[in-house]
Structure 1
Amino acid sequence: MNQKITIVFAAALVAGCTGQVPDAKSEGDKLMQVSRDWAQAAASRDIEKTLSYWADDATVISAGDMPPIKGKQAIRQMVEGSFKSPGFAISWAPQSAEVSKAGDMGYLIEDTKISFNDSTGKTITRNYKGVTIWKKQADGSWKDVVDMLSPLPEQK
């Protein structure tokens, strides 16, 4: 009897393990390309395309004393306001990617540059290190769920 239970258990275990293990490097490369595509959308000031990369419940944590921005509607207001600001420009490039063994979560380390005009109209450019945390969606796409920037020391 014990042998039958063992065989049934082993068969069920094998049947449950038929899913493929994701290739973390390949998924990381895909995630880095998604970030590059997103940067292009932001550089072109395409609001809808820029917003499409965030999950509906995403959180953006900015440097400084600003509170976290939570949810797509609040993020929309931030993006629209930024794109309307004179001198505003943003660009970034992913530097490294890590993807979970299950292939459903990942994060990127990114270099980010943001420019804006100060109160006198002079353009100020700041550099940041960014971390974005991504979740794979049911359709296979990646969505940013947490976006965080940390300012780098100003170069003189």
Structure 2
Amino acid sequence: MKHILFQSLLLLFTLGACTPKTKDSTVQWKAEILDAETQFAALVKEKGLHEAFVAFADEDAVLMRNNALIIGKKAIDERYKGMNSKNLTWTPDFIDVSKSGDLGYTYGEYQFKYTDSTGIEHTDTGIFHSVWKRQKNGSWKYVWD
């Protein structure tokens, strides 16, 4: 009987250790994703589109631009070469993360300012949606933008 009681307690302890992460973990993960978004936006302001979009891309990241897919970090690097504009700003309005803490997503509004070839300034606004993946080192990189 003692043996069965011991095995039952061991099973309960093991199952308890496998319970989903607490709400505190979810809050922490959302804060990490917000921090990644904030650092990403700051790098655009500091170094420009090319460096920032490459630095925060997962190796398998995908961008959709003008109804075309840009697949992989190398393709993103090629697409953004020479694009040193620092006039893209955004802030996530919403962040969520998976229960396992390995994927998250954000969405919100962006604003892109540019001057056309005739010298007229324009502002393009819209909605962004990004999917973030936790990397092996604990950092977050986007896999979809």
Letter in 2 for 1:15: T
Quick one: distance in 2 between partners of 1:28 and 1:145? 16
Structure 2 residue ranges without an equivalent (≥5) = none
Give the alignment partner of residue 119 of structure 1, picking from 117, 120, 128. Answer: 117
SS of the equivalent of 1:109 reads strand
CA contact (8 A) 2:34 2:95 kept: yes
Q: 1:39 to 1:88 in 2, by over 3 A?
A: closer
Does the CA contact (< 8 Å) of 1:36 and 1:94 recur in 2? Answer: no
The Cα shift of 1:76 comes to 1.2
Q: Go from structure 1 to structure 2 and tell me whether the alpha carbon gap of 1:118 and 1:142 turns closer, same or farther (over 3 Å shift).
A: same
1:71 alignment counterpart: 72
The range that moved more, 42-51 or 116-125, is 42-51
Change (3 A) 1:11 1:39: same
Alignment partners' CA distance in 2, 1:105 and 1:10: 33
Counterparts of 2:74 and 2:12, CA distance in 1:
44
Deviation at 1:97, TM superposition (A): 0.4
Secondary structure of the corresponding residue to residue 32 of structure 2? helix
The residue identity in structure 1 corresponding to 2:144 is: V
Q: Deviations over 1:69-101 (max 9, x none)?
A: 111111112322322xxx762111111100111
Alpha carbons of structure 1 residues 89 and 39: separation in structure 2 relative to 1, 3 Å:
same
- Residues 3-152 of structure 1 correspond to what in structure 2 (within 5 A)? 8=7, 11=10, 14-15=13-14, 18=17, 21=21, 23-46=25-48, 47-62=50-65, 64-65=66-67, 67-83=68-84, 89-147=87-145
Provide the C-alpha distance between the structure 2 equivalents of 1:118 and 1:60, rounded to a whole number of angstroms.
24
Cα distance, 1:26 vs structure 2: 1.9
Relative to the length of structure 2, the TM-score reads 0.80
1:103-149 CA-to-partner distances (Å, cap 9, x unmatched) read 111000122111222232312110011110011111111110000xx
Judged with a 3 Å threshold, the aligned counterparts in structure 2 of structure 1 residues 114 and 21 are, in CA distance, closer, same or farther, namely same
Contact 1:24 1:101 in 2 (8 A): yes
Q: CA deviation at 1:52?
A: 1.7
Where structure 1 has 5 or more consecutive residues not aligned to the other structure, the ranges are 148-156
Q: Give the Å deviation of 1:45.
A: 2.2
The total of aligned residue pairs comes to 140
- Tell me the C-alpha RMSD between the 2 structures: 2.7
